Structure 1
Amino acid sequence: MWGDFTQSHQVFLNYGGWEKGSDVRDKLEEVRIIVDAGVRVGLNEVTRRGYDEVDIESLAHAIALKLKGHEANTDILKIVDELVEKHPRIHYTL
């Protein structure tokens, strides 16, 4: 972080190394969280939808639940669905 802004507009998850990236990606896709095999979350995409700090914390919580082995996908999907319903349109575009 630099001041109140990120330098790269991406969050990289520490999940154990490149060889596991596709496994992490696949687990998150089960709960409709889309990342690439490098397990990067693009903050520009969630910002375009109008997410604020609380929303980012909710997204991080959903990711943590899934990656820590929370068994009930329905709990995680509820968080994800609430975020999607709260932010149905794009606010910013280039």
Structure 2
Amino acid sequence: MNPTELQAYLTANSQIESLFMEKALPYLNDENLKRAPARRYNSAIIQRQADKLYSEFIEQIHGKISQQLRGEQNPAVWKQLIEQNNLVEELEDSMADLSFGAEE
């Protein structure tokens, strides 16, 4: 399974993407407001930045699963590992603890 297939699987079977975006978009908008008014990004650029962060997140998950499966690319094997280890639920739960930026 490649990262695109993994992302499609997670989008179809979980709320991970929406939960991630609920955290990423407000953070990126706040950061944008700190920019000089003439240099602020429009909403399309902010959305692209959020999409890029999500893609990087998926790449990290893909890398960790790939290490466990030692290069196996069969989607059925990936789905079996994801289901057996409750990865979707774990990732959804971890979204509650997700924060962007420096903690104060």
TM-score by length of 1: 0.32
TM-score by length of 2: 0.30
The structure richer in strand per residue is 1
The structure richer in helix per residue is 2
Name the structure, 1 or 2, with higher relative contact order (CA <8 Å, separation 6+): 2
